[in-house]
Amino acid sequence: METAIRWSAVSSAPPHHFVLVDLLGHKVKLNEVTSDRGEDLEYRQLSQHSKFPEFRAFDWCPSNEALLAIGLPSGTTTVLKIDEDANESFSFPIKNQRYCNAVAFNTQGLLAGGLEKVRNDFCLNIWDVNQRLSSPDTDSGRPQVEPVRKLCTSEAVSSIRFFVDQPDTLIAGVGRQFLRIYDLRDYPGNAAIQFPTRRVNNLAIDPLDQNYFASAGPQGDPTVCIWDRRFTSTSNAVMSPSGTGSAELGQSRPVLEFRNAIDTSNVSASPSIWSLRFARAKKGSLGILSSTGELKVFEISKKSVHLSTGPNRDSSPPGGNFTEEPYVRRIRNVQRPYYDPFRKQEPTSRVVSFDFTFANDAVEGYQCMGLRANGQIQILRLKPPPPPVSFSSQGELFLGRNETPKTNSATPLESNMVSSKGFTVYGLDRSKRFSIVDKFRNINSGPQYSESTPEISNISGGGISKEITAPKYRSSREAHEALYSFTPQIFKMSNPAALYPGTVMRCRCDGGYLFDCEKNQKIVSENPWLQEMWAWIGGMDELAEDKATTYEMMDFSFLGVHAIWHNTLGPNPEARKIPSDGNPHTRYTDAIIALRMQLECPRFEGIKTRYPDHRQVCLAICGWGQSEQRLKTIIQQLVRQGKHTKAAAWALFHNQTNLAVTALTRPTATESHKLLAMGIAAYNNVGGFRRDPNDEAWTTLCRDIADSLDDPYSRAILALVSNGDWKSVIAEMSLPLRDRLGVALKFLNDEELTKFIDSETSNSIRAGDIEGIVLTGLTSQAMDLFQNYIAKYNDVQTAVLAMSYTNPTYVSDWRFWHWREYYRDAINSWKLHIHRVRFDVQSTKKSENWDDGVRIPPPPRQITLRCIHCNGAFAKEDEEADVSATGGSASSAVPAGEQPGELKSYTLGGPGASAGTICPKCGRHLPRCGVCMMWLGTPDVSTPGGAAAVENEDPMTRFLTFCLSCNHGYHSNHARDWFAVHKVCPVADCQCLCAEHR
């Protein structure tokens, strides 16, 4: 190192000073910082000292900026006065000349000098600088000043540092194999604390936590160690004044050790550690500089660890039963080596010296200055880490940002921010967290489009700017994706919207989102696609409950159009009880015919086909298998709801043209609806639609009007009347899939229908489109669809609830169990344990099979009440099973006095047995209530008088309640009344705060 730079430990407030030390030029310059806002540090020189010989070490006095000590090759320690250009100095010579390796000041005027090894002489001398400052200014004629303390006989000292919190205590690297802490207030014969190690160079003490200090290895060793002065083993802590002695068992080790603290990949550069410095403005930040210009900052944090688990459990703790365990929180690369292939630079531009400043950076809280080999001095600012982003278990989004928050911000996001450690944490007001779904209820991007105007409706809900022009129309799938996906170009996310993915799932669960399909439709009212899915599942569930989808031994429950059309029951047909006798294809066809009759579906009316019954059953699955009278009722309901175009389209799809015209000309219809009805009536004929092939004007007019509409049913009607081709309706992608599928089932031939069903099924699975449930059903194909749905929308909740209707009764897929456990864990993390229990119970009931047995076994009993005398369970069960359940022998379940291998059956009677206050195994009393001091117990209704005892009584009155901390028991109503007023256990002499453990 040819030059070095040091920041003043005195000038913590402006003006800031630093020294520039030129080892080759024999100059020391004291400078004042004028500006550190830019990359280059701006400063002016205050003074310069240049009349001194070559030196090997230096240190700047932490309490007096005018003093700087240097260690000469002769061993003399010289103090330079650098506050003015007088070039004054005074020295502390030694008898036996050798290299001075290290010098160090303390805050009270003591100066330590570390020397090379020489026989029978001290190598660590401590002088009092205050004595020389009070003497004449020259060294001529002055008697030699003796050190106030002499240490380390015949042992080389390579590095020295004083502790700031204990100025009379120093640490030194001794003999190239020990770190020793000396207390100068002790007598010379007292012991020193010693750490055996070869890393004794470049000592550095954390100024903000003096318990920790760092040391580096010798030349060529890239290891850095972090030590804690509080943790030393007694076996090697006591040493002789000379430091002799060998290390014994229980040696102290570093709390952290960085084996490769610097980059050593370029062997030709001979990298080695040049400097270690702790930050002055941020605790635990250690900077490491190598000879290649690499500068790293290790940010060290600490956590509390119990002594039974900590690595230093054999050491003396700093207090209590816990100790500090440091760890590296982050490593920051301030400067790369000059040979770095991605940031190549000349060796003359590498950093050769650095020091941390007192100046606080707004983001990191600290910064450093660096001296490059070309003499340039710069401020080296650490690049900020990525801002933290995290969701809480309750669905709250916490964002951090690396800038000072603006005080005049009025946005909802910034109104709830909390400043913490340089970051701004955004939280959601808990009183408003359940209103997030309301932000999405007004999004007009689902199947329910505006019908009042043929103009394009801009999406205007959930924070999307109304000034942005929406696309002319979207497909039904794209509209569903738009409900979740808002691109930054058209959407600025507000705080509630940002929390939507995590919070909505919790809100739905808390609102009762489970297996009540009608209730689920209300809960997901902001999402019409989910409403349609739950409506379909609810209808299929009703049919399954009524056995309407079962023929003989074949179960068609929850099958989709794809399975029905292809004569299959899925990959696990055994679960649906397929008979083995006869032709499977013939029996399947017979079953479809019977199924159509069971569903009371009319005969198929449409294109000529070989599979009319298959088509009619598939139409029923789509919701299209109604009779003419039922169709009229549905259309009237749609008209009353204001959905005129949907009512007209449905009537048109069922060849009820007059009914379609009527739906569009009701008094509640608009002028646009009436114009649409005029077009249908003008182009209608009794036998169907007629069209002149040369009439391009009509086709163009219909197409232009359709392009200006965003209502899918209006577009479908115009597509049909423009050319009379039903394929134009099927190709209208904005139309819901169920309606396009219904049209295909009625008007495509068998080959075209097969291709359409296969294509749409594959596309729906690949896109995770829940509209495809009508095609896949709740089968194994639906598992593939939901896998992509979860990946796209992060809604595992809906997937688990939907597939619980068929898993594991009809479908066995390991993915379902992973999703199910994930959802259960999520409910528990939301503290909605009652909802999790309801989910467990109801999903278990859903898994009933043909034999009325459940496929999901109930969870094992988690709590068992046992007698404190015989260890027998109070529950009525076989004694041998009870013994095996405890994992013990038979003798552990019998009272004292019985033979160990003998099980005896007791016949207990009397009032105690009826009241349930005695153990049914050994006949001894249960504990007493801590409030009323009466025997605990619940009457057994199966015993004489048991039912009468609880006939007019609250069942919770005698329920047993226990404190898991002190193990005292109470009647439930007594515990409720007592702990409503008190917190302490009612049992005398028990100081347990039972109420705090609830």
CB 866 within 8 A of CB 873: yes
Gyration radius of the chain's alpha carbons: 43
Regions of the chain with pLDDT less than 70: 1, 135-144, 188-191, 232-251, 306-322, 359-365, 384-386, 390-473, 484-503, 577-586, 679, 682-695, 697-698, 849-854, 859-862, 874-916, 940-953, 955, 997-998
* Residue 355: CB atoms within 10 Å: 23
pLDDT at 733: 85
Interacting residues of 446 by C-beta distance below 8 A, sequence separation 6+: 479, 480, 483, 527, 528, 529
Decide if 644 contacts 677 (C-beta within 8 A): no
Q: Give residue 61's pLDDT.
A: 92
Whole-number pLDDT of residue 248 = 40
Question: Which of 174, 161, 269 has the alpha carbon at shortest distance from 205?
Answer: 161
SS3 492: coil
Task: Report the pLDDT value the prediction gives residue 50, as an integer from 0 to 100.
Answer: 85
Q: DSSP label at 432? A: G
What tokens appear for 641 in the block?
A: 């709801």
Residue carrying structure tokens 């801002």: 387
Separation between Cα atoms, residue 334 and residue 382, nearest integer Å: 6
pLDDT of residue 883: 40
pTM of the model: 0.52
- Pull the structure tokens for residue 583: 């032709």
Q: Could you give the CA distance from residue 461 to residue 483 in angstroms, rounded to a whole number?
A: 10
| Residue reference for tokens 């408003």 | 432
Residue 585: which H helix or E strand, with range? Answer: helix 584-598
Q: Give the pLDDT confidence score for residue 415 in this predicted structure.
A: 36
Supply the pLDDT for residue 397. 59
Q: How far apart are CA 765 and CA 788, in angstroms?
A: 7
What's the confidence (pLDDT) of residue 548? 82
Q: Could you tell me how far CA 665 lies from the centroid of its own chain?
A: 56
CA nearest neighbour of 274 among 358, 189, 335: 335
Cβ 59 vs Cβ 103: under 8 Å: yes
How many CA atoms lie less than 13 Å away from 225 in the CB half-sphere?
A: 23
